[in-house]
Structure 1
Amino acid sequence: MSKETRNFEDNNKEIKTPAKKRRRKRKKKPSIPLILGCSLLLIALMGVTIVGTIFFKSMGDLNIVELDKSNLGIADDEELSKYEEYDKIKNILLLGTDQPTESGEPIRSDTMMLLTIDPINKKLKITSFMRDARVEIDGYGEDKLTHAYAYGGAQLTLKTFNENFGLNIEEFASVDFTTLPKVIDILGGVEINVTPEEFNDVNNVIFEDNRTYDKSTPYLQEPGLQTLNGNQALSYARNRTSEGGDYARTQRQRAVMEALFKKGLSTPVTSYPSLLSKVLPFVTTNMTSGDILNLGKNIIGIGTKNLEQARFPLDEYSWGEIDPVDELWYLYFDRPSTKQQIQDYIFDDVNPLGYEDEETSN
């Protein structure tokens, strides 16, 4: 059995409980790049300086929650002081979660991306993290990064990121898996370059979704640069059978993210009020209206021409295998090296060797 096959099958295995480490069967759910919908919140903020009063009125549609910022495991000043002006760099964790079920099954963060606003180097960075990465989760021992959300929601997920990767994340935004197609359709679709190899695989995902969820999503007619509707883009980003498996899937997620940014920027500012009213109800965050207003201004100041995309752990510092105890597939990685690489990239704009192959452009 190939590594990619084992990884795919593991997505539907139950999260082990800390007490008995048991697994139980659960209904199969699609593995979906849920966080991509969060980018629309950031796109909408591009227009806050022009539609400010309407923006604050629309903020009432956001689902705002509070986090205990004293218990987020934030790296201390002594650790981060080696990076000059590190405190000027803003990090926001974007989370995509499973859809809540009637059975009350744990909700996982299927996709996790870090948005970095770097005014020092005038860059925006979108950094993907592998969901199966084996990390230390406070109170639960070593487990998959994706399971932190199931154990303790956004609070524990931010703490897990900060403690394992030496970061200073205090804020997040999240959506569930129903959001992406709706948000993309609101914008009129996204432009994606589908390779000949991906073409059949994406149509296979569309076929399975249509059959399983009684959808009527049109199939792609040919490979190449084209505008995908919401469900087609979802299938494109979910595809993990093309060469590269889950690694390439994170690259496709970033491609959709970048396409969303570009489409949002091409939207007339006069359309922002309507866009806000449609998008914000999908988003949960702990950011206040003031936080988001400042975020929008900072993004406007940088612009998306300097948007970079990356993924950790790097291939040459990670390997996948099945744990003989719980029989789950994990992505193991060189923790000290990966932590250093992440900190250097986020706080010092150092691109570690091999990153060039991870960037996408569509």
Structure 2
Amino acid sequence: MKRSQTSKRKLIRNIFLLAAFLGITIAAYSIYQYNQGLSIASDGQFKDDGATFDSFEGPEPEFGEINILIIGSDTRGEENGQSDALMIAHYNQKSHRLKIASIMRDTYVDIPDYGKLKINAAFAIGGPELVRKTIKQNFDIDVNYYAVVDFEGFPKIVDIVAPNGIEVDIPYEMSYGIGMTLPPGKQILHGNELLGYVRYRHDRLSDFGRVERQQEVLSKIKEQATTIHSLVNLPKMLGVADPYIDTNVEASTILAIGKGLIAGKSKPVETIRIPINDSYVNERVNVGAVLKIDFNKNKQALTDFLAEDTDSNLELE
């Protein structure tokens, strides 16, 4: 009897030691990978994370549904600090579904305390918090967290997530305004080329085409990010991304979302564009060319999109 108890104690001790060893090994590997990532991206504008913008007052998530405001910031000065891309990423912790709602930057809205302006001006005036207030006032949608992404870091992040590149089908030559020439046809694009692809706006669809390409690329990056390769390289990815992303999302929440996306990797990203079809007119006002939208139609479309948990892709062009 004593021998049995002694053997059991030894087994428990050995299991504990093995678990401790594995934990230390994983922690050391993660720290090493994270620091490797940081060394690649040490010049990012958000290296002092959390010190760039005023406090964000988004409510706590409810019912396992998280809304994250994603703001693309182009530091090359083209927009004088205005947001170059504006999205709401919606994640359902129960179904592991990811939805992306893109709001066109020329959408003419009422910015709290500042009057009628393009929605991309809200970021330049008051950072992520004013964008949150603007979305709440115009669309009655609560945003819980924010992530401001410097486009300069986009190529580095993509090259780690998708080292073999991402396939796209370019309908016509793209060159003006992106510092490169992308010929038409199916091809594999890597970091800098992919950034040029999502930034190009001088085509017949103008900014509408760019939003469409942004959603396409994000969907394909999500597919790559839910592979075993990306799971192993997650600490390095976080290290690379850190100096290029300013966010108030806790690391534990990021890891939980990452685990959930891997668990539900077969589920496609659902997308919508605001304004939806037949709900806006192009006009020129004192702030330039804007999209005057039917707020009732677009508010309802956005509410339905974020509320429904369907299998269909709701991309509206």
TM range (shorter): 0.7 to 0.9
Decide whether the 8 Å contact of 2:168 with 2:189 is kept in 1: no
Match of 2:192 among 217, 231, 235: 231
Match of 2:49 among 52, 59, 63: 63
Unaligned runs of 5+ in 1: 1-49, 76-84, 211-216
RMSD: 3.3
Task: Report what 1:21 is aligned to.
Answer: none
The superposition leaves residues 17-52 of structure 1 with CA deviations (integer Å, 9 ceiling, x where unpaired) of xxxxxxxxxxxxxxxxxxxxxxxxxxxxxxxxx967
Task: Tell me: CA distance 1:357–1:158, structure 2 relative to 1, closer, same or farther (3 Å).
Answer: closer
Task: Report what 1:291 is aligned to.
Answer: 253
Cα offset, 1:355, TM superposition: 4.1
| Corresponding residue pairs, total | 278
Task: Report what 1:214 is aligned to.
Answer: none
Task: Report what 2:288 is aligned to.
Answer: 328
| TM-score computed with the length of structure 1 as normaliser | 0.67
Match of 2:235 among 254, 266, 273: 273
Give 1:78-97 correspondences, 5 Å limit.
Answer: 87-97=63-73
Matched, 1:345 2:305: yes
Match of 1:181 among 155, 163, 166: 155
SS in 1 for 2:141: coil
Give 1:131-142 correspondences, 5 Å limit.
Answer: 131-142=105-116
SS in 2 for 1:306: coil
Task: Report what 1:124 is aligned to.
Answer: 98
SS in 2 for 1:161: helix
Decide whether the 8 Å contact of 1:95 with 1:113 is kept in 2: yes
The superposition leaves residues 238-273 of structure 1 with CA deviations (integer Å, 9 ceiling, x where unpaired) of 222333221121011111112222222335133333
Matched, 1:253 2:224: no
Cα distance in 2 for partners of 1:170, 1:156 equals: 13
Q: Which amino acid aligns with 1:135?
A: V
Decide whether the 8 Å contact of 1:96 with 1:110 is kept in 2: yes
Decide whether the 8 Å contact of 2:270 with 2:315 is kept in 1: no
Q: Which amino acid aligns with 1:328?
A: G
Moved more, 186-195 or 278-287: 186-195
The alignment-based identity, stated in percent, is 27
Task: Tell me: CA distance 1:176–1:274, structure 2 relative to 1, closer, same or farther (3 Å).
Answer: closer
Task: Report what 1:193 is aligned to.
Answer: 168
Cα offset, 1:143, TM superposition: 0.5
| TM-score computed with the length of structure 2 as normaliser | 0.75
Which is greater in Rg? 2
Cα offset, 1:86, TM superposition: 6.2
Unaligned runs of 5+ in 2: 1-24, 39-46
